[in-house]
Structure 1
Amino acid sequence: MQFLSYLISGLGLGSVYAIMALGYSMVYGIAKMLNFAHGDIIMVGAYVAFFAISGAGMPPAVAILLSILACTVLGVVIERLAYKPLREASSLAVLITAIGVSYFLENGALILWGADSKFFPSNIFPQGGLTLGSLSISWLTIITIAVCCIIMILLMLFVGRTNTGRAMRACSEDKGAATLMGINVNAIISLTFAIGSGLAAVAAVLLASTYPSISPTLGAMPGIKAFTAAVLGGIGSIPGAFLGGLLLGVIENLSKAYISQQLSDAIVFGVLVVILLIKPAGLLGRKVSEKV
């Protein structure tokens, strides 16, 4: 029963990683770039929700919506100002720019809000949990897993069933051909950043509710682990990001419980290396052959 408790807690943590990883995967799948500022957008989302609740006294639901709106706008602004001018640049130039944007957001947060940790309110989600015999599951864990599954289903339906989703898939396959077919590639990429950044805000609230101490470096390690989850599942694949996030959370939680808390991160990255040696494209990724 204790193993089952650790497993469910790992699924809850993995659900947060999965929501973050979906943002990485969508941006990479459409724009073919790694947005390493994604973790810092998560940090901004947590701060916006914190000040909306603690400073402005807003209801939690309104604060979460405000956080989503702020992160969505921030993601679009970053894409327009930092990444759009580099659309035809080399991957290295885009990567360096992404790292620069990450440092800019972190240092901006230090200037605006200081280095002291803030403690996220604990009244956003119901306290207590569901008890089944000797097994106890917190409501936060249940809500986190449910939100992750709902987001995954909605994204799959959006990408697979709507005209905009089809346009996204077309841009992912061939931007030049998509442009010739009348698709506004720049608008599609901006929309992708908007969706990914909005998901970052959702992940920020769930993460801050799980680990209440927030600071300008809040998104650094979770951002790296979310990227790891995206690579593990197959970066560019929405189901892959979902699967990779859940697996990462379970592996991390079981490693902390049964092996060592200090070695849990090393075990997580070690599993990633082993899987990539066996399947270089990730668990659900597809190997793309290029003609040269």
Structure 2
Amino acid sequence: MTAFLQQLVNGLSLGSIYALIALGYTMVYGIIKLINFAHGDIYMLGAYCAFLITTYCGLGFIPALLISMVFCGVVGVLIERIAYKPLRHATRITALITAIGVSYVLEYATQYIMGSEVRTYPKLLTSASFHLGPVTITMQQVYIFVITVILMIVLQFIVQKTKMGRAMRAVSVDEDAARLMGIDVDKTISFTFLLGSALAGVAGVLVGIYYNSINPLMGMTPGLKAFIAAVFGGIGSIPGAMIGGLFIGIAETMVTAYGSSLYKDAIVYIILILILILKPAGLLGKNVREKV
């Protein structure tokens, strides 16, 4: 039982990171129905941004986290304006291929600038731990989980209680009707990319701290798993993305602990297949009929 609880804590930490990335996927898809496969690489850029700031500027955890959020948010807006905005009314397959292309551009540009080797991340948080009954919890795990919960609450508040949040919800329902009502659709979509990319930047910093290493290709697999988490929870649903991320993290950790690490990726794709067969809209998603 002790081992199970310990793995549960580890799974919550990993799942929190997936949840942060999944929130960006679900927001962008909810607004413009685009699967932004470059999102995982924005998370990678957040990790590198904090690495450079802490290594060469000597700043601490909080400044590095905030600067990474701003940097990734700006990168997300630039990507939307340059790559996605001209294709907003193109076919979905065109936008999807473009997203994959942007992903490769970010990966290889980072390799060209930073090199392809694995970098050791500086220690930004204490490695102290404490015992909660038989379970050992590190301060890093506490920071990851608390930051994720706080950011999700803030995001939910922005979407539900602010003027921009109401605009985001209006654009997600009917872009043309929202424009006729005086909503600046372009500004709303850019703000969505800003928020989602900032959250991915936070996830990148937390991953660097948690695993103590980064590399230019680190965004590929976690980005895909976060997308599966968004689908599992119901893509377009913020609480669904949180639930999906935590579930995927726990499932992966449990399989590694009680099965084999060889199957930790396979279980994620099995979950995707099952959810698409049993409940295609996800746990909290709604079936929506689309005009074709």
Match of 1:37 in 2: 38
Q: Deviations over 1:28-78 (max 9, x none)?
A: 101110111001111111111001111222222222222111111111111
1:84 to 2:85 alignment: yes
What pairs with 1:155-166 in structure 2 (closer than 5 Å)? 155-166=155-166
Q: TM-score, normalised by structure 2?
A: 0.97
Relative to structure 1, is the Cα distance of residues 25 and 58 closer, same or farther in structure 2, using a 3 angstrom cutoff?
same
CA distance in 2, matches of 1:193, 1:117: 28
CA distance in 1, matches of 2:242, 2:64: 26
The number of equivalent residue pairs is 291
Match of 2:285 in 1: 285
Match of 2:211 in 1: 211
3-state SS of 1:131 partner:
strand
One-letter code of the match for 2:15? G
CA distance in 1, matches of 2:251, 2:235: 19
CA distance in 1, matches of 2:255, 2:118: 27
Q: Deviations over 1:72-103 (max 9, x none)?
A: 11111111000011111110110111011101
How far off its partner does 1:142 sit?
1.3
3-state SS of 1:88 partner:
coil
Deviates further, 107-116 or 55-64: 55-64
Relative to structure 1, is the Cα distance of residues 291 and 189 closer, same or farther in structure 2, using a 3 angstrom cutoff?
closer
Match of 1:274 in 2: 274
Match of 1:74 in 2: 75
How far off its partner does 1:130 sit?
2.1
How far off its partner does 1:197 sit?
0.6
Q: Deviations over 1:90-128 (max 9, x none)?
A: 101101110111010011001100111111112x12221
One-letter code of the match for 2:13? G
Identify unmatched segments of 5+ residues in structure 2: none
Q: Deviations over 1:142-178 (max 9, x none)?
A: 1111111111111111111111111100000000000
Match of 2:47 in 1: 46
One-letter code of the match for 1:163? K
Match of 1:175 in 2: 175
One-letter code of the match for 1:31? I
CA distance in 2, matches of 1:66, 1:160: 26
Identify unmatched segments of 5+ residues in structure 1: none
One-letter code of the match for 2:189? I
Q: Deviations over 1:188-213 (max 9, x none)?
A: 00000000110011000111111122
How far off its partner does 1:274 sit?
1.1
Q: TM-score, normalised by structure 1?
A: 0.97
3-state SS of 1:263 partner:
helix
How far off its partner does 1:277 sit?
0.9
One-letter code of the match for 2:177? A
One-letter code of the match for 1:44? L
CA distance in 2, matches of 1:187, 1:40: 23
RMSD: 1.0
CA distance in 2, matches of 1:219, 1:211: 13
CA distance in 2, matches of 1:199, 1:291: 32
CA distance in 2, matches of 1:151, 1:64: 12
1:262 to 2:262 alignment: yes
CA distance in 2, matches of 1:194, 1:94: 19
